[in-house]
């Protein structure tokens, strides 16, 4: 199976492979999916209930899915506050944002406590504008947060932010000091190691073939079964195989490229810190450097999954690598000769509001799920695992009753409208945002299509 840069690096350090499930076993909790959400949830459940049997079944290797292919950007949720308040109101939105904020430090302290070298760097997030149309797109958000007394963002002028980003295209931006970068696959492998040490049973190369619902649900894999009191679906985009979850998300790609190490050149242009960086597009440019001096740059330009079917769609180099590379070189023309040494792609479970949903599958109180992380799961899954733990334990607490549980989500259209519509809307966004780079307006049809796009980081503008 194809491995991009992150996971290949992680396997060089730890290539342990757990056995596949080849028998029928019993468990208190069976978690389907060995990515961030599944691993964090297993660890929390096992730490709270050492006597219980916690099992993870994973289709490939733990962390080989979205958790090992993302940008390694851990941001908090103040940037999503306006979307969040439409779901659960100001008080609960603030509580959730504060929980998401604490997750950044929790990742760092967890890595330190357990000796996980995930290249954790808490150097903040630079939210930038790379054309005049993007300038102050964040203002409606920061003014709202300022009124609440919780605004973490600091304004940065062009000179200051350019000196840290190193791109001549950056015109301004804001800075949130409470964000971090990690090597995402190394973090996932570290979580796996801790889970095993705690006594969590992990079965890799054991894809789910069927879920038998009932009083005692049964997870079927290719060569074995797990009969469990509770089941957790922590499958990211792969959860779309379940009809109830399918219309909550559109399956789209995260497409990434990585350069060869050029640390001296990055240092020379000021691109030497560990900040994570985005611009203010909806089809987001997101990037960061690595401790050894690579640029890792991403943009969702690749393939969509049809009707929840993923198959091998993302098990290859990114089909959009040339376009992603061209965008990186546009931002860094002074580095146009630096070679690209790896590209990869992975699925994103994109929800309309860009926020995950949690609940019980078909109202079965013994099958919990979390889905819709929308490409923002590195830190989100840390506190999301608290929600999963409370749902599994049937706890009547602040997590089981969290505003993200049982949302009235705006569902995406059925197929084939969702698949073809997703392409049309994404292409319209790219077209509009490319025109804005040249200070030009998009046409009427393009603007109408863009209005159908899911929520991004950029809040709606005040009129």
**pLDDT tens per residue, range 374-427:** 999 999 999 999 999 999 999 999 999 999 999 887 788 889 999 999 999 999
Residue pair 349/251 in contact by the 8 Å Cβ criterion: yes
Q: Which residues contact 80 (CB under 8 A, 6 or more apart)?
A: 97, 354, 355, 376, 457
Looking at residue 461, its pLDDT comes to 46
Q: What is the mean pLDDT of the chain?
A: 95
The predicted model gives 114-123 an average pLDDT of: 98
Residue pair 88/25 in contact by the 8 Å Cβ criterion: no
Looking at residue 455, its pLDDT comes to 73
Q: What is the dihedral of CA 184, 186, 190, 192, to 10 degrees?
A: 70
pLDDT greater than 90 at residue 463: no
Looking at residue 457, its pLDDT comes to 64
Looking at residue 459, its pLDDT comes to 55
Looking at residue 454, its pLDDT comes to 82
What class, spelled out in words, does domain 121-181+251-348 have in CATH? alpha beta
Prediction pTM value: 0.96
pLDDT greater than 80 at residue 216: yes
Provide DSSP, 60-118. Answer: SSTT-SGGGTS--EE--SGGGHHHHHHHHHHHHHHHHHHHHHHHHHHHHHHHHHHT---
In the structure, what pLDDT confidence band is assigned to residue 223 with cuts at 50, 70 and 90? Answer: very high
> For 383, what's the count of Cα atoms within 13 Å in the CB-facing half-sphere?
24
**pLDDT tens per residue, range 245-258:** 999 999 999 999 99
Looking at residue 458, its pLDDT comes to 58
Q: Using omega within 30 degrees of 0 as the cis cutoff, is the peptide bond preceding 50 cis?
A: no
State the burial class of residue 346 (Cβ atoms within 10 Å of its Cβ: 0-12, 13-18, 19+).
buried
């Amino acid at each position: 199976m194809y491995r991009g840069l992150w996971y290949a690096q992680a396997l060089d350090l730890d290539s342990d492979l757990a056995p596949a499930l080849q028998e029928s076993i019993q468990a208190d909790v069976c978690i389907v999916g060995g990515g961030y959400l599944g691993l964090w949830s297993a660890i929390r459940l096992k730490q709270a209930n050492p006597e219980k049997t916690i099992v993870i079944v994973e289709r490939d290797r733990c962390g080989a899915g979205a958790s090992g292919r993302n940008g390694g950007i851990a941001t908090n949720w103040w940037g999503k506050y306006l979307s969040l308040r439409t779901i659960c109101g100001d008080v609960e939105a603030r509580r959730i944002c504060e929980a998401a904020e604490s997750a950044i430090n929790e990742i760092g302290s967890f890595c330190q406590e357990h000796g996980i070298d995930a290249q954790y760097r808490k150097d903040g997030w630079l939210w930038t504008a790379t054309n005049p149309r993007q300038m102050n797109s964040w203002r409606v958000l920061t003014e709202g947060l300022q009124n609440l007394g919780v605004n973490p963002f600091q304004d940065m002028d062009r000179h200051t932010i350019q000196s840290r980003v190193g791109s001549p295209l950056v015109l301004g931006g804001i800075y949130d000091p409470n964000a971090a970068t990690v090597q995402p696959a190394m973090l996932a492998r570290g979580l796996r190691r801790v889970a095993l040490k705690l006594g969590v049973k992990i079965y890799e190369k054991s894809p789910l073939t069927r879920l038998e619902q009932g009083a005692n649900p049964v997870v079927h894999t290719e060569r074995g079964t797990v009969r469990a009191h509770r089941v957790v679906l922590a499958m990211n985009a792969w959860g779309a195989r379940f009809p109830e979850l399918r219309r909550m998300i559109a399956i789209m790609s995260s497409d990434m490229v990585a350069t060869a190490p050029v640390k001296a050149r990055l240092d020379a242009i000021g691109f030497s810190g560990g900040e994570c960086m985005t611009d203010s597009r909806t089809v987001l440019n997101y990037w960061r450097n690595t401790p050894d001096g690579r640029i890792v740059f991403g943009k969702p330009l690749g393939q969509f999954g049809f009707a929840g079917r993923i198959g091998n769609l993302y098990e290859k180099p990114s089909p959009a690598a040339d376009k992603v590379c061209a965008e990186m070189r546009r931002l860094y023309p002074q580095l146009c000769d630096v070679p690209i040494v790896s590209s990869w792609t992975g699925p994103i479970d994109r929800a309309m509001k860009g926020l995950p949903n949690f609940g019980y599958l078909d109202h079965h109180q013994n099958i919990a799920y979390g889905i819709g992380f929308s490409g923002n799961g590195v830190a989100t899954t840390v506190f999301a695992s608290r929600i999963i733990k409370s749902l599994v334990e049937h706890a009547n607490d602040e997590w089981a009753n969290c505003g993200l549980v049982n949302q009235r989500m705006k569902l995406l259209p059925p197929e084939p409208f969702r698949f073809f519509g997703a392409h049309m809307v994404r292409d319209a966004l790219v077209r509009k945002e490319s025109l804005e780079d040249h200070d030009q307006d998009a046409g009427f049809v393009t603007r109408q299509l863009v209005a159908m796009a899911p929520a991004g980081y950029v809040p709606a503008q005040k009129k």
